[in-house]
Structure 1
Amino acid sequence: MMTNLFSIFDPSTNLFNLSLNWTSTMLGLFLIPPMFWFIPSRHLILWNKVINSLHKEFKTLLGNAKINKGSSLIFISLFSIIMFNNFLGLFPYLFTSTSHMVMTLSISLPMWFSFLLFGWINNTQHMFAHLVPQGTPPILMPFMVCIETISNIIRPGTLAVRLAANMIAGHLLITLLGNTGPNLSTIMLMTLISTQIALLILESAVSIIQSYVFAVLSTLYSSEVN
């Protein structure tokens, strides 16, 4: 039962032993470029407003404009690709790559490691100071160093698990409810359809929120190394 349930997340579709499900991650490359060449539409204007709002917010979080000049574009791109892949999972027969740890860890781990490497090479004293919060009693300093070190090490894992778990949870709930459809009466079936529509709206909100949370936390982690 559980094997069949979680099999919806398996990248099993293949052609000539090549997995085709993961190619859905790259669909945005075919859809996004025409937006910038066609006559500006309402969707493009809305997306530009979203990007400008994110740029202002990320620039505020990053601080120090001289060092972090242009860094907000990295996190806007990160937000865009995660949100796009989250939304793809809401369409039938499309693979949700962000529900797999191999995808989320591939994003969070190199980014976290590069921030950490940059901080320890360029701002060593600042990174050591972060290990002991201001005002910590001397007797608690060794424990605080251990706690802060562990919290820094698990950051990429928490980013990856948070995104993957939220994507899996919503899709599992929709799948479980959808499997009960053939056995229901007409009235209950209409109720189920209404519930599924409400869940899809909720999952759309979760797709945006989780991509925003991932990008904001990544921005905060990068601002700590300066």
Structure 2
Amino acid sequence: MKLTKLFDGQWPQTILFDLDGTLVDSAADLAAAIDQMLLALGREQAGEARVRQWVGNGAAVLVQRALAGCHDHDAGAPMDQATYHQALTLFFDAYHDHNGLHATVYDGIEDFLVRAQQQGCKLGVVTNKPAAFTDALLEQMGLSHWFGVTVSGDTLTVKKPDAAPLHHALAALGGDVGSALMVGDSVTDIRAARNAGVPVVAVRYGYNYGDPIDSLGAEIVVDSLAELL
């Protein structure tokens, strides 16, 4: 399906992108930091395959899931808060060293961004990743120059799936809900778009907690953004 079918034959005026799992495959970096954290706590490493299923709701939730060893961090015994805060500090220290070290830009992203710019689209990033890592990763991946705004998980007091980060990005770009699009890889992005009142394109290659994304209500689901061109 062509993207223009969502906007009466035109391109959207504003496109907001998720970061991890949508623009950049950063799971190897995140897994390395999580495993370093777990080793420092005397625990077994999780490995990249498991970490891929835990990414998407920000660093705090990722660390909680890693400590619990499962996606549902509320499962089992209540989490010891002292251990959690120690783990979060260890993770942040480790991720400062690993951020962007093994990450790659997904195929089709550059082609799509070039076309979007040619069409006059205003582009932004809305991620649940902490700001301390968002801009650094975009810079290291050579992507920062494409985006007029980045809204991170700690930019506001709420994060996706709340609508506020998307509305904040639209306001910063001078965009409006009626001509905006969200692009993401998880149910969190789809819910955020729904809450914000904008259509959403979902990509299959990202980190939707190990679950298929096709049946979650996105207007378009693709294997690569190049399919939209």
TM-score, normalised relative to structure 1: 0.25
Structure holding more helix per residue: 1
TM-score, normalised relative to structure 2: 0.25
Structure holding more strand per residue: 2
Structure 1 or 2, whichever has the larger Rg, is 1
